[in-house]
Amino acid sequence: MAHDRPILVTGATGNVGRHVVRRLVEEGRAVRALTRDPAKADLPGGVEAVRGDLADPASLGPALEGVDTAFLLWPSLEADQAAQETVAALAQGVDRAVYLSTMGVDPVSSEREGGILGSHAMLERRIRESRMDWTFVRAGGFAANLGEWIPRIRESGVVRPALPELARPLIHEADIAEVVVRALTEDGHIGAIYDITGPELLSQAEQARIIGEELGTPVRVEAMGHEEAVRDLSGSGLPRETAEEILRAHAGMVGDPEPVTDTVERVTGAPARTFRQWAADRIAAARAA
């Protein structure tokens, strides 16, 4: 792969994609960002923003021209019907793809059962079957998914999770990006599957307390009822069945939590950032905005 060729970053304006773009720029790599609206992308100087949508394979031609390496972040379950054509379009020119998947994927049973795990299993299979070299970065829970707690705690001092006792080793989006960038730019990652998490199990009640401490605000945690939790997730744009799937998975984790992995440190040489570091970073970014 030629280092002067741009690396294609999909999902470039999202929580993980922005960090991937920034780190690649810091390393002096040419970056092409795929976005539905280049005018609103707000990316670092020197990044080439190109209009396109993974859910619309016909739109990808300009983004793929001259590219041999790509970071693939699949947009949603609703785009699954385009997966075969999209992966085929990528494979016409891309030699190496790094796909952001999720922990818990079983290549056989997950695809058969459908839902979020099934979607990721299907994408992994299509990538495996393509001509591309691949790396799968299977991330655990994203700390970024609790970003909305920060204004809630600041304004009211109250958060209402569905399962306050649910403990997960949430990962900082910057650590996901660090692993992705290593896989995009270094040798030795082809065919690797990386399960990555944060460094510690913390309950949702503990996570809320830490955010409050970083804000300097006392926090009260109140459990949300199941139906209200479904409505809350559905209100963020998820189909009801997907919201139900997420809540079932979370309930299962109460008694059988995700394992904490040291993969971030093994791949990058630096330990995964703590949840407190994530909270401090998010609060500082909001204050600077």
Which top CATH class is 7-139? alpha beta
Residue 53 forms beta bridges with which residues?
56
Residue ranges per structural domain of the chain: 7-139, 141-172+198-258+271-289
Helix (H) or strand (E) holding 283: helix 275-288
C-alpha span between 71 and 23 (Å, rounded): 13
Residue ranges in the chain whose pLDDT is less than 50 = 1
C-alpha span between 182 and 286 (Å, rounded): 28
Phi, psi of 135 (to 5 degrees): -135, 135
Domain 141-172+198-258+271-289 adopts which CATH fold? Rossmann fold (3.40.50)
Percentage of the chain modeled with pLDDT above 90: 80
| Amino acid 264: pLDDT | 98
| Amino acid 95: pLDDT | 97
At 263-286, the pLDDT tens digits run: 999 999 999 999 999 999 999 998
pTM of the complete model: 0.93
Establish whether domains 7-139 and 141-172+198-258+271-289 are of one fold.
Answer: yes
- Alpha-carbon distances of 276 from 89, 108, 229, 263, 285, rounded to whole Å: 41, 36, 25, 19, 14
| Amino acid 228: pLDDT | 87
At 181-192, the pLDDT tens digits run: 999 999 999 999
At 60-106, the pLDDT tens digits run: 999 999 999 999 999 988 899 999 999 999 999 999 999 999 999 99
| Amino acid 3: pLDDT | 67
Q: Cα angle vertex 61, ends 59, 64, to 5°?
A: 120
